């Protein structure tokens, strides 16, 4: 039995990079980015995520936004592995400026310098900024 997703032509896989630079909740960017990431992953694309500047706060452990009337979408980052989205990169310098270490994050990430992130960016077919 053939399913819709199996009918997709092989070889149509592109490298998508999502660059997240905004803190969660204050603006809608973080949540919107996550939705697009989930959709592109459902179409079997090669997805990588970068968290830089205030975007590193999206991955902070212990978020509890009920008191401000928002959904706790930080839990959804932990579902990404199940969507085969496993390339998560974080800008080391942004973490340090904000007093964060890898232990403060709710998923496993790779810490990179801005230079290394720039090189990764050059390898992409599509770069989307949020």
Partner 1 sequence: MAMLHIVNKSAFGNATLNSCIKTATQGSSILLIEDAVYAAMGNTSMADIVKEAMNKASISVLGPDLAARGMDQSKVIEGISVIGYDGFVDIVAETDNVQSWL
Partner 2 sequence: MPIEVNGKTLETDEEGYLADLNDWEPAVAEVMAKLEDCELTDEHWEIINYLREYYEEYQIAPAVRVLTKAVGKKMGKDKGNSKYLYGLFPYGPGKQACKYAGLPKPTGCV
The contact set with partner 2 (CB under 8 A) reads 1, 3, 5, 35, 38-39, 41-43, 71-73, 75-76, 78-79, 82-83
Give me the sign of the Cα torsion angle 82, 74, 63, 130. Answer: positive
CB 69 within 8 Å of CB 31? no
Q: How far is the CB of 93 from partner 2 (least distance, A)?
A: 30
**Phi, psi angles (nearest 5°) of residue 97:** -55, -35
Q: How far is the CB of 66 from partner 2 (least distance, A)?
A: 12
Q: How far is the CB of 58 from partner 1 (least distance, A)?
A: 9
Residues binding partner 1 (CB under 8 A) = 21, 23-27, 53-54, 57, 60-68, 70, 74, 94, 96-99
Query: Rounded to an integer, what distance in angstroms lies between the CA atom of residue 48 and that of residue 41?
Result: 10
Tokens encoding 91: 């800008």
Residue 125 interacts with which of partner 1, partner 2, none, CB < 5 to 8 Å by class: none
């Amino acid at each position: 039995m053939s399913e819709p997703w199996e009918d997709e032509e092989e070889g149509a896989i592109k490298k998508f990079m999502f660059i997240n630079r905004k803190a969660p909740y204050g603006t809608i960017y973080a949540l919107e980015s996550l939705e697009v990431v989930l959709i592109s992953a459902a179409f079997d694309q090669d997805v990588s995520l970068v968290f830089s500047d205030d975007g590193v706060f999206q991955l902070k452990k212990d978020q509890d936004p009920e008191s401000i009337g928002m959904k706790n979408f930080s839990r959804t980052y932990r579902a990404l592995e199940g969507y085969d989205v496993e390339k998560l990169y974080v800008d080391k310098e942004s973490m340090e400026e904000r007093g964060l270490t890898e232990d403060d994050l709710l998923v496993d990430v790779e810490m990179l310098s801005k230079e290394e992130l720039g090189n990764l960016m050059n390898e992409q077919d599509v770069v989307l900024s949020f």
